[in-house]
Amino acid sequence: MKRSQRMSAVFLALVLGLCCQYVVSQDTAPDQSSGKKANIVVLATGGTIAGAAATGTQSGYTSGKVTIDQMLDSVPKIRELANLKGEQVANVGSQDISFDIMLKLAKRINELAASPDVDGIVVTHGTDTMEETAFFLNLTVKTEKPVVLVGSMRPSTAVSADGPLNLYNAVAVAADPKAKGRGVLVVMNDQIQGAHSLTKTSTTSVETFQSPLRGVVGVTAYGKNDFYNNPSWPHTTQTEFDISNVTKLPRVDVVYADADMPPDLIGASVAKGAKGIVIAGVGNGNMNKGSLQAAEQASKGGVIVVRSSRVPTGTVARNVEVKDDEMGFVASGELNPQKARILLSLALLKPHTPEQIQEMFNKY
């Protein structure tokens, strides 16, 4: 071989080598700046991500059929992202997630996060009540380590199931040191959302989760994460809520307001022992005259009444159309009824005046 031919061969080999390296690095895990794989625990609770149907194209399926080990084994290369350990905490559709399961999850996360051998936690969960569990954990887990919820809109057996990539991305976010200190996150459909602000907006679309007032925290694509925002509300280590000895939450009901709503729904709730009532109000957290009177009576009798809204976006402010100061009500701010119920249930673990609870709604 002539000298010039030899040089070309070396050059070609170098270029090929670099290309191969590029392809490999594009195809593997996100940056592990320390050079060590993170240790991630995946806590499974069920949901559509663990759901199965008889065929790949039918819309009917059963949630919570697949175990965490089956789920992890079905995602190519997920074990290259992190050292993974799975634990089955429950296996239910999230319509059946109870406060008992939320408490169990929060306690287990606090236990795991206290260990130096755990770098992050992923929770697989149904999407129907994911926003409630995410917000509950956001207020009760005591760690800066990433805690990431993930689900799917299509069952594991569907054509184009979204669960495997969602799970891959969730592990990549939980293993990313940049996810630390951002509160509880939800990873679905290539987006990273904050627990305070996200809500489910579509019954079927894979793009169901949105954070209408705050936007996404970041995006993720095949394990490469890009963070744009920090959630702006206090969370995790910054909150006053300690559930370590809590076994039961006080009863708080959500009452839905609409045209010609029967006012006796509020009295029925009080009679059943509710310590708090969240009104899913019309517009800016409003309800008809009879219901306002019933709510005022409940409030004067010691039940905390929070005005939230059935409208998907916007805030509920004090004393706009309703005289909160006179009637003793609390305005929910940005929190939708289901999240207002979570905050009020935690707030009522200790005695508080409506004014103190209003401060919590302003803060969290």
| Residues labelled as active-site residues | 48
Supply the DSSP symbol for 349.
T
For residue 204, what are its two tokens?
């079927």
> Shortest Cβ distance from residue 154 to ligand ASP (Å)?
8
For residue 189, what are its two tokens?
């459909």
Bridge-based pairing state of the strands 82-92 and 120-124 = unpaired
Measured from the CB atom, is 102 or 306 closer to ligand ASP? 102
User: Would you count residue 95 as binding ligand ASP (CB under 6 A)?
Assistant: yes
> Shortest Cβ distance from residue 250 to ligand ASP (Å)?
25
Q: How many residues does the chain have?
A: 364
Within positions 74 to 93, which residues make up the interface with ligand ASP, using CB under 6 A?
Answer: 93
Q: Which amino acid makes up residue 358?
A: Q
Q: Is the backbone of residue 203 left (phi > 0), alpha (psi -120 to 50) or beta?
A: alpha
Within positions 128 to 187, which residues make up the interface with ligand ASP, using CB under 6 A?
Answer: 128, 151, 153
Measured from the CB atom, is 63 or 236 closer to ligand ASP? 63
Question: Tokens 């009798």 map to which residue?
Answer: 301
**Of the candidate residues 53, 81, 94, 332, the single one contacting ligand ASP (CB under 6 A):** 94
Q: What angle do CA 325, 327, 332 make, to 5 degrees?
A: 70
SS3 of residue 193 by DSSP: strand
User: Would you count residue 124 as binding ligand ASP (CB under 6 A)?
Assistant: no
Distance CA 120, CA 115 (A): 10
User: Would you count residue 119 as binding ligand ASP (CB under 6 A)?
Assistant: no
**Of the candidate residues 29, 38, 40, 47, the single one contacting ligand ASP (CB under 6 A):** 47
**Of the candidate residues 91, 110, 127, 156, the single one contacting ligand ASP (CB under 6 A):** 127
Measured from the CB atom, is 127 or 358 closer to ligand ASP? 127
The DSSP line for 219-281 is EEETTEEEE-----S--GGGS----TT---PPPEEEEE--TT--THHHHHHHHTT-SEEEEEE
Measured from the CB atom, is 127 or 299 closer to ligand ASP? 127
Measured from the CB atom, is 161 or 257 closer to ligand ASP? 161
Q: How many residues bind ligand ASP (CB under 6 A)?
A: 11
Applying CB under 6 A, which residues contact ligand ASP?
47-48, 63, 93-95, 126-128, 151, 153
